[in-house]
Chains A and B, each alone.
Chain A
Amino acid sequence: MTRTWDTVRRNRAARLERARAVGHGRWVEADRMPALLEALLEPGDRVCLEGNNQKQADFLARALARVDPARVHDLHLVQSVVALPEHLTLFERGIGRRLDFSFSGPQAVRLAQLAGGGKLEIGAIHTYLELYARYFIDLTPRVALVAAQAADREGNLYTGPNTEDTPAIVEATAFKDGLVVVQVNERVDRLPRVDIPAGWVDFITVAPTASTIEPLFTRDPAHIGEVQVLMAMMVIRGIYEEYGVQRLNHGIGFDTAAIELLLPTYAEGLGLKGKICSHWALNPHPTLIPAVESGFVESVHSFGSELGMEAYVAARPDVFFTGHDGSLRSNRAFSQVAGHYACDLFIGSTLQMDLAGNSSTATKSRITGFGGAPNMGCDARGRRHATPAWLKAGREGSTAAMPRGRKLVVQLLETFREHMEPAFVERLDAWDLAEAMRMELPPVMIHGDDVTHVVTEEGIANLLLCRSPEERADAIRGVAGYTPVGRSRSRSAVEALRGRGIVRRPEDLGIAVGEATRDLLAARSVKELVRWSGGLYDPPARFRSW
């Protein structure tokens, strides 16, 4: 008997035939979407319901949550972000059974409850890049439900500024005989540009309301405190200037927003324009506007977009990646690769760190996942091109005869976080979460052996220069302030490390703590950002005070 080699393709044809039999053409009426999904889906299917960091296929999520669980059940959802309540309603109703994902910010508590209650099996928690990679290896979607801004008559798609995950999902699905269903905000005669060709798309619906996009990366400068200004000064002086960091990725917290807002003031005063922070893998953060306007920033490639930044980005095509129509072209997969291989530095905030430098944002009752930080915040072992920053970090971090560079991975944290919880601990909460959820690994965001610098309000610990685990622990204690971990430091050990430049205080960097005031911020309010942009930045209503 000869084997048939096209069972998947035949199955695809059978599904399309089922859809046709109940009267569905390529264009689907919104109210008939649940019926189409019931015709297309089979129990146990692997389904990617596009949930990005920002853009959500929210209409398709609601439609899927309404299908009859007697017909569609035990689905295996593979999606980067679990953001909407409907994403978890699927599991409550038995439509979904298993979940492979990357990040679950707003749904972290309910996700933990469903997983704990046996309604939801977690396959694995990934980084973004890892999950996209698995779409092409062993988690290829059978059906993808995605979102785009607009479609033309033929079914070509324009994804708009928030392209995000869509190309990676559709590529993996369409070229393995899967089915692609898309919700669009509008149908137009002529698209501004084609992001996904019509031939990769099977069904299209015009959603009754535009897909949700959240302004996740807007940080109001009004909420940046003087401690964050001080830490930003230390980073600029003690790391960016020291290593000549030109290519980098920032996290999304207020700490890194403070650095962005200090470039046109403090860094420019140090004569660092053109010497640091020229090339970025970053969403179009509003707090980057002053640095762009004052000439620090040469290029920015973006994972996604940011609400309100459309006109500003379109007016700065030398800096941002844009289509010929002017709108931003983002692509999370490519930007993650860029952040991993082409950046010399990652810097981000974390909530908890142990004495090995492992850091985590996990707490006992929440499963938040990872997102992209672990791919940015790790050494790229496959990298082979050299830059001065990378080589210097490599020299500091190794005594081996063979030269090799090293990515700078910087973790920012105040010694105490909210409710006076110490940020430095002997044992991460991630261990408890792993035990409670029976995970194979404690969810560590950045592993200690990847971290090169820890920055707190007390100073910088350079872990590259440490030569033993004990020295690393002493260096971390040396910047851990009045936390129990910090108070158990040996004064002489820390002073010895300070003598070797492993622990550096603000005064060692020539920074007077009293100068760390909010007046150093290039913008102290969202309104000042609008002014810097010449009125091009149009912040969402929730960030306005005018």
Chain B
Amino acid sequence: MTGPRRAGPSYREASARRRLAAILDEGSFGELLGPTERVTSPHLAALDLPVAFDDGVVVGTGLLGGQPVLGASQEGRFLGGAVGEVHGAKLTGLLRRALAERPAAVLLLLDTGGVRLQEANAGIVAVSEVMRAVLAVRAAGIPVLALVGGAWGCFGGMGIVARCCDGVLMSEEARMGISGPDVIEATRGVEELDASDRAMVWRTWGGKHRVLLGEADRLLEDSLPAFREAARQLVGRARPLTLAALEAEQAWLARRLADLGGSADALDAWRSAGVDEPERLPLLEPPAWSAAVAGARRVRP
């Protein structure tokens, strides 16, 4: 075939299990509490809704570049990767296991709209438990990495979880935030935000904007090998979780808000940040994009 080069099989189109298997060293993945255990959501069953035998999340152990890691991968095709009680407990349990096993990293392959609304408070509690567990693992000096490359992106409470991690890897097709475009349109009206304007949606929540603002660390092509390689490079590299580090980050955020907070559109923010011809950014491939924004990118301290 002639035509554009392809970096490898798509991360976005892969299932949760395939993603984790492809990120980890070949054949090294061992699933914990897999589908054969049939630990399913009691809330969905009570509502007479279909359940998944893994409650929409795959967790387990493996190697990355020969180093032991723990990994979790959310299945966006089951209820939009939303976090229910069992799903959240599997994530929290994996993170607590890290405190005992001390792996070189914990990888969270997030593909989620946030809390599972059908499980209401149980889901909200579950997400807050995940947050607390992430911070406990980080406090123990073990890096936690968020990989965001699925069709759902990473929203709601899980968007906060991603930003609690040591690092975030995103493809440009992925999106990250707290309230997503549809939620904003539904609550504030189409005058506030037109969720059908996809170019605007990706400009605002997409990987390029998130990396440019310093909320994610690397912009990747949508391919499993690209995610694997970027994750491998970050294994063992923990960001300090100290008062001084938090204060530095707070000051950095305040400065960013002062510089860019008045932007009506991502394009304005890119221009204010010093990007020449920001209109061309959306079409650039990750390497060309990285070169174009090199001077303008905000980098988290």
Contact = CB atoms under 8 A, between A and B. Distances in A.
Interface centre among B3, B10, B206 (most CB of A within 10 A): B3
Interface string A282-317: 000000001001100000000000000000000000
A530 interface: yes
Nearest to B222: A525
> Which of A294, A522, A544 is most buried by chain B, counting CB atoms within 10 A of its CB?
A544
Contacts of A535: 283
Contacts of A293: 2-3
Contact of B1 (A522, A525, A527, A544): A522
Contact of A541 (B3, B4, B200): B200
Given A531-B4, A546-B282, A541 B173 contact: no
A519 B2 contact: no
B196 interface: yes
Nearest to B282: A546
Contacts of A522: 1, 3
B9 to A, nearest CB: 7
Contacts of B10: 518, 524
Contact of A546 (B2, B196, B283): B283
A542 B196 contact: yes
Interface in A509-546: 518-519, 522-525, 527-528, 530-532, 535, 541-546
A530 B284 CA distance: 11
Contact of B173 (A264, A518, A543, A546): A546
A544 to B, nearest CB: 4
B288 to A, nearest CB: 12
Chain B contact surface mostly = loop
A358 interface: no
Contacts of A530: 283
A150 B2 CA distance: 39
Contact of B208 (A531, A532, A543, A546): A546
Contacts of B1: 264-265, 268, 294, 522
A274 B3 CA distance: 18
B94 to A, nearest CB: 30
Contacts of A264: 1-3
Contact of A545 (B9, B202, B283): B202
B13 A524 contact: yes
Nearest to B2: A294
Say which size band chain A's interface belongs to: 20 to 34
Contacts of B198: 541-545
A518 B6 CA distance: 13
A522 B208 CA distance: 25
Nearest to A541: B199
A527 B173 CA distance: 10
Given A544-B202, A545-B202, A546-B283, A532 B3 contact: yes
A532 B200 CA distance: 23
Given A519-B9, A535-B283, A541-B198, A546 B4 contact: no
Interface string B269-296: 0000000000000110000000000000
Contacts of B199: 541, 544, 546
B166 interface: no
Nearest to B8: A519
Interface string B174-218: 000000000000000000000011111010001010000000000
A527 to B, nearest CB: 8
Nearest to A520: B1
The interface centre, meaning the residue of B4, B172, B206, B208 with most chain A CB atoms within 10 A of its CB, is B4
A5 B247 CA distance: 94
A293 B283 CA distance: 20
Interface of A: 264-265, 268, 290, 293-294, 518-519, 522-525, 527-528, 530-532, 535, 541-546
Interface of B: 1-4, 9-10, 13, 172-173, 196-200, 202, 206, 208, 282-283
21 contacts: A264-B1, A265-B1, A268-B1, A290-B3, A293-B2, A294-B2, A518-B10, A530-B283, A532-B4, A541-B196, A541-B197, A541-B198, A542-B197, A544-B202, A544-B282, A545-B173, A545-B202, A545-B206, A546-B173, A546-B202, A546-B208
Given A524-B13, A545-B173, 18 more contacts: A264-B3, A268-B1, A293-B3, A294-B1, A522-B3, A527-B173, A530-B283, A532-B4, A541-B197, A542-B196, A542-B198, A545-B198, A545-B206, A546-B173, A546-B202, A546-B208, A546-B282, A546-B283
